[in-house]
Amino acid sequence: MTRVVLSIGSNLGDPLANLRSVVDALGDRVVAVSSVYATAPWGGVEQQDFLNATLIAQDDALDCRGWLRFGQDLEQRADRVRDVRWGPRSLDVDVVDCDGTVSADPELTLPHPRAHERAFVLVPWLEIEPDAALTVGGAPVAVADLLRSLDASEVAGVRRTDLALVAP
C-alpha cells in the first residue's frame, strides 16, 4: 500500500473550498487530515495569507508518480496558474513524502526538497502524526526536531484556525 503525505495550500478564490476539494477527491483514501492553518506567504511575493493543511492518504493503486499526477490534476481543476514562483495560487498540492522514497528526479524530488524548512508543512504534519520523520541529508529526522531547528517566529506564524476540512 502506498502511503503519502500531502501538503495543500490556497490563497485565491475560495481557499477553504479549494482545500476541501482535495479531501473530497481523496475520499476513503484519507488516513488523517490536519486542522487548517493560516500562514503568511513564503518566498517574498506580496499576496494575501494562505490556508494550509497536511493530509496522509493511502492507495494500493497509486505509486509516487501517481500521487504527483493526482495532485497536478486537482491543481488543474482548480485553475492553478504557474506564472510567479511562490506566487498566489488557487491550489497547491505538494507530495512531501511517499513511503519514505528518496528521489532526485527533477520531476518528482522526494522527500519534497524544502519541506524540512517550512513550518507550514511541519506544524500540521506533526499534529496528525506526532512521531513523523522526514529524510534529510540521507537520514530520517523527527519532524518535531526539524520544527525546533526553525526560527521561532516562522513557527509562530503558522496559526491554527477554527476552519475544518472534514466534519467533526
Catalytic residue among 94, 97, 99, 114: 94
- Whether 80 sits among the annotated catalytic residues: the reply is yes
Supply the DSSP string of 16-79, one letter for each residue.
HHHHHHHHHHHGGGEEEEPPPEEE--SSS---PPEEEEEEEEEETT--HHHHHHHHHHHHHHTT
Contact 22, 103 (CB under 8 A): no
Q: Which of 49, 63, 80, 99 is catalytic?
A: 80
Handedness of CA 45, 46, 47, 50 (dihedral sign): positive
Q: One of 20, 89, 97, 118 is an active-site residue; which one?
A: 89
Catalytic annotation present for 89: yes
Catalytic residue among 20, 92, 97, 118: 92
Q: Look at residue 156 and give its three-state secondary structure.
A: helix
Q: Is 83 a catalytic residue?
A: no
Active-site residue numbers?
A: 80, 89, 92, 94
